[in-house]
Amino acid sequence: MATWQLSRTFDSPQGQIRWDSFGSGPPIVLLHGTPNWSFIWRQVTEHLAPHHQVYVFDWPGFGSSDRFDGQNISWDEQARRLPELFAHWNIVAPTVVAFDFAPIFALRAHFFEGLDVGAFVLADAAVIPPFITDFSRLARENMGTVRQIPTHIAEAMIGAHLTQTTHRPMSTDTLDAYMSPWRGPDGVAAYWRAVARYDEDMAAPLVPRLKELTMPVLLLWGDQDRWFPPPKAQELAAAIPGAELTFIPGAGHFSPEDNPGAFAAEILAFERTLDRADGAPAPW
């Protein structure tokens, strides 16, 4: 199995959060979505770290962070973790790269928790409902039933769902890595807890406020995204004044996995634009 480990910890109200940072320079914070974890950033980080200090972590309930029965991983609670982490890291107004459902957490943190963000990169972003996949919606609406599914069958269902996220088939090692947090009775239980918290009502209040965003915003989107097809990207771009939209070639919903080089290159190009706008030289 492909390896990825986070070496540091932060004690949050919802358990221990595993995190790490790489490189040096202006800060960039990478936020994973679901059903993935920080593993999705491993190759993007390699491209960004020569120019930036890159922060990655696993949300409570995901990856290597604490996961337990009764844990509050609602989307409004997850948003509260970002101001805590920014304070722990002593960073102000970084670029935030938020993928999949994480834009909801980041935008809620900005609008409702006062989080200072210098620039947003929203990638294959769940912001404007509807966006929950048919599989996840069915599971959420029948949670009592799915929690009774035998572990090995549930694992197969989750694995099949994950194989739909990329345009190019994942290698066995890569798929195993994405599946690793969701294996066994505890992993499957954690997966269903996450799905039970999927809530488009948490995104709905953000939509009319998108026009209030004043920082630079870049949208990155897999041109072969089957979960959130390109028209969703165009809908979001139209809702954010001045937002740039770039499609990542040959990439499905997991665009940082399908084409990490192009994904990172777009972030670096965006950062150079910010430097020019600020009148400061690029850090490379």
For the chain, the structural domain boundaries read: 8-278
Distance of alpha carbon 108 from alpha carbon 117, whole angstroms: 12
Residues 260-283, mean pLDDT to the nearest whole number: 79
Distance of alpha carbon 182 from alpha carbon 20, whole angstroms: 21
pTM of the model: 0.95
Q: Indicate whether 252 pLDDT > 60.
A: yes
Q: Indicate whether 283 pLDDT > 80.
A: no
Residues 243-262, mean pLDDT to the nearest whole number: 98
pLDDT score for 281: 47
State residue 119 phi and psi, 5-degree precision: -160, 150
Q: Indicate whether 212 pLDDT > 50.
A: yes
Residues 10-27, mean pLDDT to the nearest whole number: 98
- Which CATH number is associated with domain 8-278? 3.40.50.1820
Query: Environment class of residue 208 by beta-carbon count within 10 Å: exposed (0-12), middle (13-18) or buried (19+)?
Result: exposed
Place of tokens 């960039």: 28
Place of tokens 């962070």: 65
User: Could you report how far apart the first and last alpha carbons of the chain are, in Å?
Assistant: 34
Alpha helices of 130-202 — where are they, by DSSP H?
134-141, 143-146, 151-162, 172-179, 184-196
Percent of the chain with pLDDT strictly greater than 90: 95
Confidence band for 63, pLDDT divided at 50, 70 and 90: very high
- Coil vs helix vs strand at 97: strand
Q: How many residues does the chain have?
A: 284
pLDDT score for 87: 98
Confidence band for 190, pLDDT divided at 50, 70 and 90: very high
pLDDT score for 279: 44
- Give tens-digit pLDDT for 176-189: 999 999 999 999 99
Confidence band for 1, pLDDT divided at 50, 70 and 90: very low
- Give tens-digit pLDDT for 141-188: 999 999 999 999 999 999 999 999 999 999 999 999 999 999 999 999
Q: Indicate whether 43 pLDDT > 90.
A: yes
Torsion of CA 139, 143, 147, 148, to 10 degrees: -100
Distance of alpha carbon 126 from alpha carbon 100, whole angstroms: 5
Place of tokens 């890595």: 177
